[in-house]
Amino acid sequence: YLDKRNITIGTKINVLGKEFFDGSMIIQVGKDQFFISKKIAENLYVQTN
């Protein structure tokens, strides 16, 4: 799934929000915005700037 969205090690993403009801998140990669499930989000390592 992440490969299809062009998310690889070192990809910069912006977290735009989190859905309270199921823990999914809306993120932005470049100009594209999309949802990722809670399970995917829990398996990503992120670093803040």
How far apart (Å, rounded) are the C-alpha atoms in residues 48 and 3?
A: 22
How far apart (Å, rounded) are the C-alpha atoms in residues 28 and 35?
A: 9
**Confidence band of 44 (pLDDT split at 50, 70, 90):** confident
Residues 11-39 pLDDT 10s: 999 999 999 999 999 999 999 999 999 99
Higher pLDDT, 2 or 28: 28
Residue-wise DSSP of 20-37: TTT--EEEEETTEEEEE-
How far apart (Å, rounded) are the C-alpha atoms in residues 6 and 28?
A: 11
**22 and 36 in contact (C-beta within 8 Å)?**
no
**Confidence band of 6 (pLDDT split at 50, 70, 90):** confident
**Confidence band of 46 (pLDDT split at 50, 70, 90):** confident
